[in-house]
Structure 1
Amino acid sequence: MQRSRLGAIALSSAALLGAALASPALAATESEIPSFQEFHASSFKDSDQQYIVNGDEPVSTTGDLRAYYDRMVGGSEKAMEEGLVVNTVGGVDDKWSTAQVGNLTYCVSDKFGARKADIVNAMNSGAGLWEAASSRINFVYVPSQDASCTTRNNSVLFSVEPVQTSQYIARAFFPSSPKRSRNVLVDDSIWTSGSWTPSNILGHELGHTLGFRHEHTRPEAGTCFEDNNWRPLTPYDSASIMHYPQCNGSSANLSMTNTDRQGAAALYGA
């Protein structure tokens, strides 16, 4: 989740390649598109030494970053087929199995200190948004693993950890992400994000962990295009919890919509 003070990437702004949100509606010319070497040199790495693209999505290796670059530079707009969209990998939906989605275990690091209880509560509320949409979705907090809450902990599916960065408020992962990327990282700015409540911000990030993409990658948004690796689950929803408000979104607070709930039920069952 990008910081709300930043603006939006233009649909055709391949020069920025979705790595950070910049000023709205600026078209890129061919000469403005960086080489991969230039893009690689300017790409942000977080504390886990992973590249961050599309504002809050990790890319593990230089090879994966190159694949992302190639998709962005060579990609074209995807035609509307059916506001929730699911990530795809090799044309296949990026989702959890029926058994796994009912047991999405996580820990919350003790390193949150005095704010730990607040994070626990915000995670519970954010998870509840998706659990209410599909009875098959179940996030399970395992407090006994909090003392060793990192991606190396194999007793939980993912970890929730603090981070200090000026690049994002929080970031997450997709079901297809390797174990070393399966964490939700949260910056202290989550407490000062105005109308974006911590529960809704973490609800947005947990949407990614379920496989849902940013809604604004769809052509209807007219800006902030990311790539074509997604499949529509519902009609476009500018108010979706997965739609950045600064990317022509119509919701100021990242609240969940009925369309979001319909999309979750379409992917995982009601």
Structure 2
Amino acid sequence: MRRLFSGSALALTTVLVCSAAFADAESPTELTRRLLQEAVAEPSNSAKVESLLKVLVETPAGSGRYVVEGDISIAREEIVDYLKSLKNPDIASSRSDELIVNLVGGKFDYWKNPEQRKLTFGFDEKSFPTADNVQFTRAKFRAAADDWIAACPECGITFTEVAENPFFKIKYEPTSDGTIAMSFFPSSPPSDRFLYVYKPFLAQDLQFDPVGVLRHEIGHILGYRHEHIANIPGCATEGTSWKPITPYTANSVMHYFCGGKGSLDLALRDADKRGHRCLYQTGKACPVSN
């Protein structure tokens, strides 16, 4: 996710399992949750913020950017505002529940103009371990992008690979902390316009459909937040501003594998497609069905 998120769970993180020998000890997941809760309670307390930063993944290393909510990246200077947003979330009212779109300044964060929807991308090929890895990722991204395009041909969204000056780049990072991939939101600044794939994405034992992983990340690029954002039990807490535009879909492409919900294929469901068409064709949430 944008700056999100990307930190946490499927989307993309792998499951952390504690050894029985340490059953009474605080697990890494529990430690992170506790430090997050403490920092949210006192976002102006620099000691608590620093304690949280020590357990967050910094990626790329030395960049000053940290993973939150599984696959969203935020800069060090944004962390206090992010924590405040978790304490006092700005959730626009709606009679429906989800597909969820990001909000910036109270407005939907998506590609509003036809020209903006002609997205170009390129590969940082030198960042990948092998040429085969590049080809693998290219094929999976193309399939994922085509699924979003097919969900609304009339929306005018395209993804075109170019050799020079792409709008965003697809880059590999050798991080193996559990994060699988991470992208950005439409409102992200140019410096954040990367779709990162991490070491687990290329692993042969990846449980998730790699095309699905990239479908999820493209969802963020199109402006969508995580489906489980509204405090679904067993899922990560998330902050910043958002608004639901279709009813909650437990197996949405934007739902982490958490809280007993989610899916390994991360496919576009009918509700996802409906919400996507509503937003990109009308600029509004879907009408509420009776």
Same fold by TM-score greater than 0.5: yes
In the other structure, the counterpart of 1:37 is 50
In the other structure, the counterpart of 1:123 is 141
| Structure 1 counterpart of 2:73, one-letter code | P
In the other structure, the counterpart of 1:171 is 182
Instruction: Give 1:250 shift.
Output: 3.8
- 1:1-270 pair list within 5 angstroms: 1-6=11-16, 22=29, 35-47=48-60, 48-60=63-75, 62-75=76-89, 81-82=95-96, 83-111=98-126, 112=128, 113-135=131-153, 136-142=156-162, 144-145=163-164, 155-167=165-177, 168-192=179-203, 194-220=206-232, 223-227=235-239, 229-269=241-281
Larger radius of gyration: 2
| Structure 2 counterpart of 1:240, one-letter code | S
Q: Find the residue that maps to 1:269 and give its secondary structure.
A: helix
Q: Find the residue that maps to 1:2 and give its secondary structure.
A: coil
Check the 8 A contact 2:35/2:52 in 1, yes or no. no
- Which of 92-101 and 181-190 deviates more? 92-101
Structure 2 CA distance for aligned equivalents of residues 171 and 211 of structure 1: 13
Instruction: Give 1:183 shift.
Output: 0.3
Q: Find the residue that maps to 2:101 and give its secondary structure.
A: strand
Check the 8 A contact 1:105/1:158 in 2, yes or no. yes
Structure 2 CA distance for aligned equivalents of residues 124 and 90 of structure 1: 32
Q: CA separation of 1:41/1:236 partners in 2, compared to 1, >3 Å: closer, same or farther? A: same
Instruction: Give 1:3 shift.
Output: 2.3
| Structure 2 counterpart of 1:114, one-letter code | D
Q: Find the residue that maps to 2:265 and give its secondary structure.
A: coil
Normalising to structure 2: TM-score of the pair? Answer: 0.75
CA RMSD, aligned part only?
2.8
Check the 8 A contact 1:102/1:137 in 2, yes or no. yes
Q: CA separation of 1:195/1:258 partners in 2, compared to 1, >3 Å: closer, same or farther? A: farther
Structure 1 CA distance for aligned equivalents of residues 168 and 180 of structure 2: 18
In the other structure, the counterpart of 1:12 is none
| Structure 1 counterpart of 2:55, one-letter code | S
Check the 8 A contact 1:110/1:116 in 2, yes or no. yes
Deviations 1:151-174 (A, max 9, x none): xxxx11100011011231110000
Q: CA separation of 1:123/1:39 partners in 2, compared to 1, >3 Å: closer, same or farther? A: same
Give the unaligned 5+ runs of structure 1.
8-20, 146-154
Check the 8 A contact 1:137/1:268 in 2, yes or no. no
- Which of 109-118 and 214-223 deviates more? 214-223
State the percentage of identical aligned residues. 27
Instruction: Give 1:27 shift.
Output: 8.8
Structure 2 CA distance for aligned equivalents of residues 31 and 86 of structure 1: 28
Instruction: Give 1:186 shift.
Output: 0.6
Q: CA separation of 1:131/1:31 partners in 2, compared to 1, >3 Å: closer, same or farther? A: closer
- Which of 168-177 and 127-136 deviates more? 127-136
Q: Find the residue that maps to 1:105 and give its secondary structure.
A: strand
Q: Find the residue that maps to 2:114 and give its secondary structure.
A: helix
Structure 1 CA distance for aligned equivalents of residues 137 and 38 of structure 2: 44
Q: CA separation of 1:219/1:79 partners in 2, compared to 1, >3 Å: closer, same or farther? A: farther
Q: Find the residue that maps to 1:260 and give its secondary structure.
A: helix
Deviations 1:247-269 (A, max 9, x none): 43242321221111111111112
Structure 1 CA distance for aligned equivalents of residues 100 and 89 of structure 2: 17
